[in-house]
């Protein structure tokens, strides 16, 4: 009986102890495995655009960014018009990134080609659009995990509650503001952030 208790104790200790493994890196140094989940920078992301080309977010260094999860069959879909107006008026001061997502009411069920056609023919969209992703739930894209997890972005835990939620990133790659779907892209608060 004593031997069985000893075995269970050893198993319990093995399960609860945190063994830190060393992982070699190219420079020859090593770091603890616990650090592999360190906060990722906004500029570390690489994603496919709506045409399937890779976009390195490193190119956005020094620029203000407005990220929006978009959909073609939503009550907020007319915001594409304001987003395009914002792009035309302030394109030298802010980069607009659109992320089609089908997380809310099945309102973005189309293919990338169909989404692109819809956006250009109905709203003349010229700002950067990306491959359709998930912005909520178990399959949430890592970018949206970063945007909605304060352990990664520093302060915000709000994830999109519907289509056309907006995240504002400053020139240093820091998340500065979250706006709900009902906030118009031309809202005074967004304009102030762009012009600041």
DSSP labels for 44-100? G-EEEBTTS-EEEGGGGTTSEEEEEEE-SSSTTTTHHHHHHHHHHHHTTTEEEEEEE
Asked if the model's pLDDT at residue 139 lies above 70, the reply is yes
Mean pLDDT of 95-115: 97
Given the residues 15, 74, 119, 165, the one annotated as active site: 74
How much is the average pLDDT of 117-131? 98
Looking at the domain assignment, is residue 116 inside a domain?
A: yes
Please indicate whether residue 74 is annotated as part of the active site. yes
Q: Does residue 31 register a pLDDT over 90?
A: no
Domain count, the chain: 1
Average pLDDT over residues 30-58: 76
Residue 12 lies in a domain: no
Which pLDDT value is given to residue 194?
97
* CATH code where residue 89 lies: 3.40.30.10
Residue 79 phi/psi, 5-degree rounding, is -65, -15
pLDDT at site 40: 85
Cα(80)–Cα(62) distance, integer angstroms: 25
Whether residue 79 is contained in a domain is answered as: yes
Average pLDDT of the residues of the chain: 86
Average pLDDT over residues 158-180: 98
**Dist CA 146 CA 154 (whole Å):** 9
Residue 171 located in a structural domain: yes
Residue 70 forms part of a structural domain:
yes
């Amino acid at each position: 009986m004593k031997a069985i208790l000893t075995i269970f104790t050893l198993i319990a200790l093995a399960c609860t102890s945190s063994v830190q493994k060393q992982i070699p890196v190219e420079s020859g140094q090593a770091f603890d495995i616990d650090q592999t989940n360190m906060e990722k920078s906004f500029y570390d992301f690489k994603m496919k655009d709506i045409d399937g080309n890779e976009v390195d977010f490193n190119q956005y260094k020094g620029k203000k960014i407005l990220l929006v999860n978009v959909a073609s069959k939503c009550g907020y879909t007319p915001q594409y018009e304001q987003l395009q107006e914002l792009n035309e008026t302030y394109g030298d001061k802010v980069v607009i990134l659109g992320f089609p997502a089908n997380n809310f009411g099945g309102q973005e069920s189309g293919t990338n080609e169909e989404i692109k056609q819809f956006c250009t023919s109905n709203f003349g969209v010229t700002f950067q659009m990306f491959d359709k992703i998930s912005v909520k739930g178990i399959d949430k894209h890592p970018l949206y995990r970063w945007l909605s997890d304060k352990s990664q972005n520093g302060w915000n835990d709000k994830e999109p509650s519907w289509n056309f939620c907006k995240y504002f990133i400053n020139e240093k790659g820091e998340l500065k503001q979250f706006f709900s779907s009902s906030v118009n892209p031309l809202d005074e608060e967004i304009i102030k952030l762009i012009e600041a």
